[in-house]
Structure 1
Amino acid sequence: MSYDFAEKDLAHIRHVLSHLEQSAAGARVFETGPMASLDYWQARVRAILAMPMLSTHAQKQAKDLLGRLERLKDLRRCAAGS
């Protein structure tokens, strides 16, 4: 994976995550299907983080995305428990 592709992939993941966060904020029912799989998106971000010599900027973006994914997972767990 090239570093340019990694930057583009992070931007894409950020866009998808924003959509999932907005959907979660406005609905009691969470989206389902392959695009809504938070484990899938976490795996993609982790694959980018595993790249050797990844820029500090890209590392920060990836770690921020992992944090957002964790918060969304927590939100889903809380909603499922209620």
Structure 2
Amino acid sequence: MSYDFAEKDLAHIRHVLSHLEQSAAGVRILETGPMASLDYWQARIQAILVMPMLSTHAQKQAKELLGRLERLKDSRRCAAGS
């Protein structure tokens, strides 16, 4: 995976997470399917993080996205427990 692709992939993942966060905040029914699989997005981010010589900027972005994913997972757990 090239570093340019990694940057583009992080931007794509950020967009997807924004959509999923808005869905959760709007109290819409939890989405299903591949796009809504938080484990899938986490794996994609982790694949970027293990790239050798990844820029500090990209590492920071990836770690921020992992934090957002964890918050989204927490909100889904809370919604499922309600």
Task: Tell whether the structures are fold-level matches, with TM greater than 0.5.
Answer: yes
Name the stretch that deviates more: 62-71 or 21-30: 21-30
Calculate percent identity across the aligned residue pairs: 90
Question: Which sections of structure 1, spanning at least 5 residues, go unmatched?
Answer: none
Name the stretch that deviates more: 24-33 or 60-69: 24-33
Question: Cα RMSD over matched residues?
Answer: 0.6
Q: Deviations over 1:55-79 (max 9, x none)?
A: 0000000000000000000000011
Question: Which sections of structure 2, spanning at least 5 residues, go unmatched?
Answer: none
User: C-alpha distance in 1, partners of 2:25/2:56?
Assistant: 31
User: Please, what TM-score do these two structures have when normalized by structure 2?
Assistant: 0.98
Q: Deviations over 1:11-57 (max 9, x none)?
A: 00000000000011002421111100000000000000000000000
Please give the secondary structure, in 1, of the residue aligned with 2:40.
helix
